[in-house]
């Protein structure tokens, strides 16, 4: 069984499109992650395994190969977790693929399935727009940042178990995102003053290796 979704990373200050490919075949249970990943990316296999199980999904007990393409670009950080989990559920037949084929998926997973925010979302969403990708699935806390890029449909997700709902009802009305942000435990709705505070300039936090700045 083979599946593929799209994710992204930050190279310097620029977003780069990453294809997450998964092959599930018969053999001894094993997970191989290839595509020049760093230590944080290699650890995503264990985060995804725990999150999938703790959300009531089934983690395939077969040979699983995860490829992050292009292979010559070093992958860093935990922003691929959600994409790997979605691709795994698609490949194993636990999700339907149609809604996810046009989306870019970004997010880090906690072991309980919660989706954590990641840095560099603005650069990744901007690159997705230049590549003609119309829909972005991001952590709830990154939604306001992603909405700064005009012309994109932004879908906020707070927990891995919500992927079934998002797959059925990918929210085309961006205004509905404000209701998601205002739900108990979420951020408050965006206002004009909030938008002014966010700003549209570059942020050194999005530059790989420049945390000290």
CATH of the domain at 134: 3.30.230.10
Q: What number is the average pLDDT over the span 13-39?
A: 94
End-to-end CA, the chain: 45
Angle of helix 44-54 relative to helix 81-91, nearest 10 degrees, comes to 60
Tens-place pLDDT, residues 80-131: 999 999 999 999 999 887 678 889 999 999 999 999 999 999 999 999 999 9
From residue 56, alpha-carbon distances to 52, 141, 162 in Å are 7, 24, 12
Q: What rounded mean pLDDT belongs to the chain?
A: 83
Contact 5, 90 (CB under 8 A): yes
Residue 132 belongs to some domain of the structure: yes
Distance CA 143, CA 120 (A): 12
211 domain-assigned: no
Domain extent for 98: 2-206
Average pLDDT of the residues in 26-42: 93
Position of tokens 């944080």? 40
Give burial (CB, 10 Å; 0-12/13-18/19+) of 11.
middle
Residue 12 is predicted with a pLDDT of 85
pLDDT at 179: 39
pLDDT in tens, 161-210: 988 877 655 544 444 443 344 444 444 434 333 433 444 455 666 666 66
Instruction: Indicate whether 40 belongs to any domain.
Output: yes
Residue 86 falls within a domain, yes or no?
yes
Give the separation between CA 145 and CA 205, rounded to whole angstroms: 13
CA neighbor of 33 nearest in space, from 19, 17, 21: 21
What confidence score (pLDDT) does residue 165 get?
A: 78
Domain total in the chain: 1
- Please check whether residue 79 lies inside any domain of the structure: yes
Q: Torsion angle of alpha carbons 68, 98, 160, 83, nearest 10°?
A: 10
What is the model's pTM?
A: 0.80
Is the pLDDT at 63 greater than 80? The verdict is yes
Q: Is residue 127 part of a domain?
A: yes
- Confidence (pLDDT) at 199: 44
Report whether pLDDT(64) > 90. yes
pLDDT at 181: 43
* pLDDT at res. 43: 94
Give the Cα separation of 41 and 36 in Å (integer). Answer: 9
| CA gap 13, 35 in Å, rounded | 21
211 vs 115, more confident = 115
Tell me the pLDDT band of 211, cut-offs 50, 70 and 90: low
């Amino acid at each position: 069984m083979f599946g593929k979704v799209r994710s992204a990373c930050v190279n310097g200050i620029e977003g780069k499109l990453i294809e997450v490919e998964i092959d599930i075949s018969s053999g001894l249970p094993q997970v191989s992650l290839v595509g020049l990943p760093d230590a944080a990316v290699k650890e995503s296999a264990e985060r995804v395994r725990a999150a999938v199980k703790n959300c009531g999904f089934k983690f395939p007990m077969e040979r699983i190969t995860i490829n992050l393409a292009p292979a010559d670009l070093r992958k860093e950080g935990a922003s691929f977790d959600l994409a790997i989990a979605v691709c795994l559920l698609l490949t194993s037949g636990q999700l339907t693929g149609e809604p996810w084929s046009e989306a870019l998926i970004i997010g880090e997973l906690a072991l309980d399935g919660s989706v954590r925010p990641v840095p560099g979302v603005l650069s990744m969403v901007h690159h997705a727009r230049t590549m003609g990708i119309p829909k972005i699935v991001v952590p709830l806390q990154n939604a306001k940042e992603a909405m700064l890029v005009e012309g994109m449909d932004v879908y906020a997700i707070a927990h891995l178990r919500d992927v079934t709902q998002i797959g059925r009802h990918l929210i085309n009305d961006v205004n509905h995102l404000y209701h998601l942000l205002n739900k108990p435990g979420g951020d408050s709705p965006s206002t004009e003053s909030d938008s002014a505070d966010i700003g549209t300039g570059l942020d050194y936090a999005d530059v790989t290796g420049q945390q000290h700045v």
